[in-house]
Amino acid sequence: MIFLCKANQLYKRGNLMEKKIKYGNMFAFYGKLLTEKQYEMLYHYYMNDFSMVEIAENMKISRQAVYDAVKKSNKALESYEKKLGLYDKFKSISIYSNSIIEISESVLEKEHNEENRNQINEIVALAMEINKVNDN
């Protein structure tokens, strides 16, 4: 029973960490579109890893006000992402770029043969996908 409780705590902590990473990345893309106070709160929350209590103390407001502002600001970030999709495009570009690097390193380690030509064709195809993502 204790194990399940600890596993549940770790799961919740993992989800919280995933959310902080997701919103922190979206903040990097869209933070300047927020109000000055929203920007300041999210900057401290995501970039400086301040707790809501620390932010509340620094800004001389209640922890509940910080919680509400963070929640509202996150909804704004989600709205920007839904409309613009920059974060999703960035993730796609990162995936394709990493694939290009892996395939290229593989080609460098091998002799020139038919398999290598196929891998080079894969590199070209991935580069074309990158262009498609950037064109949209």
Half-sphere exposure of 98 (CA within 13 A, CB side): 6
Q: Which residue has the tokens 């996150």?
A: 74
The answer to whether the CB of 66 falls within 8 A of the CB of 41 is: yes
Describe the crossing of helices 114-135 and 86-109 by its angle, rounded to 10 degrees. 170
pLDDT of residue 12: 52
Q: Show Cβ contacts of residue 133 under 8 Å, excluding neighbours closer than 6 positions.
A: 89, 92, 93, 96
In tens digits, what is the pLDDT along the chain, a chain of 136 residues? 343 444 444 445 567 888 888 999 999 999 999 999 999 999 999 999 999 999 999 999 999 999 999 999 999 999 999 999 999 988 888 888 888 888 887 776 776 777 777 888 888 888 888 878 766 6
The answer to whether the CB of 115 falls within 8 A of the CB of 85 is: no
Q: Beta strands of the chain (E only): which ranges?
A: none
Residue 94's CB: how many other CB atoms inside 10 A? Answer: 10
